Structure 1
Amino acid sequence: MTVPVDNPESVSPQAKSNPVGNGFTARLGVALRRVPQRRSIQLFVVALLVLPAIISGIYMWTMWDPELYLKDVPVAVSTDDAGGTSDGKFENLGQQILDDMTSSGELQFHKVSSAEAVKGIKETRYAFALIIPRDFTKKIYSVTDSHPQKPRISVYFNDFNGTLGPAVATSVIAQAQKEIAATIGEGYAKGVLLGLNQLGDGLKDASVGGKQLKDGTKQLKDGTSQLANGINQVADGVGQLKNGSGQLHAGTTQLSDGTGQLVTGTKELGSGATQIRDGVGGIITPLLAQLEPLSKNVAALMPAVDALALNSDATIRAAATQLKSLLNELNTEAPNSTIGQLAQLRNGTVELARQLNDPKAEYLSGVLSLNTGAKQLNEGAKQLDDGLGELHKGMPDLKNGAAALKKGSRDLDTGASQLSSGLSDGSAQAPHIDDVPASANMFAAPMNVSIDNLQPSQKVINNDRSHKEIDRGAGPVIVVLGAFLLSILMWMVLSPSRGNNNYASALKRAAMPTLRGARLGALGGIIFGLLLTSYGALIGWNPHNWASMLPIVMLVGVTAAVSTQLFVVVFGRVYGSIISFVFFMYQIFAFGGIFPLGTTPPAFRPFRDIAPMTYAHRALLRTHLSLYDNMFWISILALVIMSMAAIVIGVAMRYLLAQADRVDELNVASRGRTPIAGGTV
């Protein structure tokens, strides 16, 4: 909104001399001025750029795996192998390996000459180079020589192409070794088939063993003949045994049935014995109860009877004798008395009933055990009969097998004779290996790999890989990363527009402060570049021509300064600094100075061709080699265009904002309002 003014004449002369009304540029300027001021848009821009950058940084730091992108890594392969002769046949294993590697599709192999491979590494066209030397095949076939030599393959890479090259080199070398191992193994196998150290002695021992085998096979042949005859006899015996087992099974079946009948009869006897016991008990027990009082008086009557027996009267004595006999029959203490025999009869019927009915009684338990044993015996006889039946059925197959064994032993005897003869001939032709440890080592580790980093970014101190220092290969990366990072920090402190803007022309009011800021930033970028270059020289970076390198370094510094200035001009100091840092992060992933060619995820690769750091890095590397090819001039042109475009866009942005301010001033003047700097309130 606007506020009243005391003097409408207070409108600036620039506004009076340059009326704009509501033209397109003025409306565009008003819209652009509002964009950075809206917090929702600011938060959206930050979320759109910062969050992906944080996620990307975490991913590249913790989960980056170069093996996922090996098929995109350009690898130059070359062979200088002159070939070699094995068993009268010429072969070139190096060329064979090269053909297999380039047709496998496992890596992005490029078949070139050895000179081109090394040159391509220096010129950043390849990430790695693998070169097979001239004597490669010859050394492979030396595995059985007196002094075998292990072949060597050379691998080259260059930290100028990415300081993480050593991390990728391990994966590339492992994949290349996998491709090479099969061919080398075949070469070694051919050499081994032409001679093994202990083959001669082993064949001699085998020849002796073959003779012993021949003697043994003769004995085996005789034994198999006897075995065949014995099996025929066994077959007859098995038939007889089968007949006997059938009879045995029939007998045990009868025995089992008989014991079953015995158990049944015993149960019936038990039932009858119970009835007898009950009948006898029902008669004798009451009778004994009646006679028992008389039995107790027998002892009292006996003295009187004995006295009568002494009477002089014969008739009385005879009666006393008969009475005494009758009293003895009633005496329960006399075992042969009538009462005693009745008691024995009663007790006997009770015991008989128990023996025939109680399973725990000796008789009935014995009968039951006999029946159980007879059943088990019958079951065992049945199993024996069944088993002998199966054996009897299998005897024809056994007889046939014995006959086949007899024939096989004859064939074995014939083969043993041929083996003995062949081993004798082979032992005479077997070669000998003199240096067994060296040949064995060639099998354990088929080849040596020499790794040469043409421009290492780190060097190991005192052979301690845990102690490293920055080396010359990090020089260009330090200049590029440092120039852009320091420029971001510089615009966090300095204003991107400097000086007054009291010019009649709106274009001048937009251009002059921006150009003055760009001039100051360019000076700072040049200083940053030169300081970083000095540090690179201290760690060993040494381009071919420093006179050519220094202008390029200054151009890189200028590009870094003005390109980062643009973000601050467009988005303001806070959000512009954040966005420029996010863009800086994406450039790190894509520009090729950290991650080698082809090893960055596809999402980051589009930034490579729009990132100023990409062309800055290429320009530095080309100048380092004094290689002023098309890539060099394209990189220089890209840096210049990007620098000029950043300035032009910055001026245009300020021009549009100035147009918006002029609209505010004219609107204020027409309504009697006082303009506030940067717009009306």
Structure 2
Amino acid sequence: MKSLSVFFKDVGSAVRNPKVLIPVIAILFIPILYSGIYLAAYWDPYGHVDKLPVAVVNLDKGAELEGKSLHVGNDLIDELKKNDDFKWEFVSAAKAKEGMQTDKYYMQITIPENFSSKATTLLDDKPAPAELIYEPNGNYNFVGAQIGKTAIKDLKSKVSAKVTESYAETLLDKFSEVSDGLAEAGDGAGELKSGAVKLDDGAVKLKDNLEKLASGTLKLQDGLSPLSNGVNALHNGASKLESGTTSLVSGLQQLQQAATSQLQSGADQLKTGSDKLAAGLQSSLDGTNKLQAGLQSSEQGSAKLSDGLQTAVQGSGTLATGLQSAVDGSSKVADGAQSVAAGLKQLAESNPELAASADVQKLIAASQAVADGSAQLHESEQKLAQGADQLHQGNQQLAAGATELHGGQQQLLAGANQLVDGQKQLLAGAGQLSQGGAQLSDGLKQFSSKLGEAATGGSQLAAGAKQLGSGTTALQTGVGKLSGGVSSLADGSKQLGEGAGKLANGLSDLKDGSGELATKLNDAAKKTSEVKKTDDVVNMFAEPVNSSENKAESVSNYGTGMTPFFLSIGLFVGSLISTIVLKMRETSVPGVSGWNRFVSRTLVFGSVSIIQSVIVASFMLYGLGLETHSTGMFYLFTIITGLTFMLIVQALVTWLDLPGRYVIILLLVFQLAASAGTFPVELIPSWLQSISQWLPMTHSIVGLRAVVSSGNFDVMWHQAGILSIYAGVSIVLTLAYFLWSGRRPKKEADVTEAGQAATV
């Protein structure tokens, strides 16, 4: 209890003394001044890179790839205009250079004029990669230049994908051509197989025929003896031919004389008769043509007569019908008039006054006259109707006769046409006969001359028969030589037969090989044809691998990622600054024991640390908007970290005083370098890696990352346990000092305290 009273007296003394209270309040905000302000300034710098001006110069002149226009530079410019990764400014080379010199731009990207042309050299023997020239302005700002380098890699991948897409389209077109070529080659191989089959069959036939040739030559050799006998018989026949040709010559001469005198006169008479026949046929044809014209006119007239009679039939029928109607009407009129007359008579008889009237008598007489006239009219109309019926029947008979007449005339006209055609044919035949007679006369003249030539030829044939006799003698000699040649032919045909057998075997192998070749080529064509050029395939060639970020393990921004590091630094620096403002060894109550001083000093430093931790954690959460997996765990681990750092600093400064602060600064430097707060620990020198796990800030950073980023609280508790060990060791060291200092003489203690500041 006395220890707590010392603590409260120290706090009360500080509160009543503004010179002490104000510095104490100031050190409570040291972690915010050190870490909070820095993180606030750079909380999300990568989220604002669109404000960094970057100059883009496009000098590309374009090129052609497989007949297609390629402008990779313009495509890149279009892509840059679509995104806001940076503040792109598309300027000329001169303006870009001026902007770099005046630190207007953080980077310059130049698309050279041969950019597209180099992109088309992939299929050349010596392809040249396209170069995208970028110039970071590192002299202006190193970090900005590094960000630009990272962005240029993304641009490079986009440009590469665009160029690869063009190559993929060309390559897939080539695949189609190769597939078509393989298909054609497969068809050719199939035809080769068919040809090989035919050639194989031909080789077999060749072998068989050569065997037949060999056997035939043997038979030929056997048949040479009859040939020799035949040649002898030919020689004898040639002698007889010579005598026969002499007789033939004399007979031909006699035939020539007869053909010249008798046959020539008959041919002349035939020509004369045929000319007369042609003239007569021409006269007959003229008459037949006139007859045809007359029949044509007669046929047309009969047609008109038939049409007129048909009209008359129709008219007479109409007339008969009308008269019949008139007869019916007159009958009714007569009956009506008779009825009127009878009615008047009855009226007169029933009325004496009317009967005595002269007018009535006239009326009765008139009505009787009308009745009599109507009866006569009825009889006349009946007679007219009978006459009209007879007229109609007569017209019908005339029309039927006219129709028969017209049909007969048509038959006559057809016969006349046939007659004309026949006479034309006869006339043509007569002309041909006349020509044939002339040709016969000319032919007989030629025949006579040819008979003379034949006689001359007979003489030559006789001379040839003599030569034939001489030739048969030479033939007999040649037959002997032929016998020897046939023997050589038999041997050669046998050797050819053996070679044809080997050829057949080789062609069989060729047939099998060409069949397999056709199958393989067709399979290859089928496989290559499966490669289709679609937008999805082209895009797959251009970008075969896509990356997707797992948001569960990502950090939202730069400030969140750096919070564990800078928060640890702020708490450590805040602990160090606290040793300058607060008393390390003595209290405001004189003469107390070492234990009381230990409790008072530890509670003071612990309280300051807790307040610093709560203030800086609240600023992170609510001032900067830091998102964590647990607010309570974040507060708890921040307090554990601050207490650990404060207890370490207290122990070192309590024991060593000013040299202790120097040791704390060295410890801070080592922790800044080796605690993996910015770069991974694997990237630092190996000797720093070896001490990294022994530094308290290493464990505070890992624990804070677990709370802020991963949410793995097992890791947090593990790191909290390690920090508790550091804190426990530090408390023991501090307690040891106060217990040891409590046994020193009072004078020595006073001298020690005189070197410290008169603070809390």
- TM-score, length of structure 2 as denominator length: 0.30
- TM-score, length of structure 1 as denominator length: 0.33
Higher helix share: 2
Structure with greater Cα Rg: 2
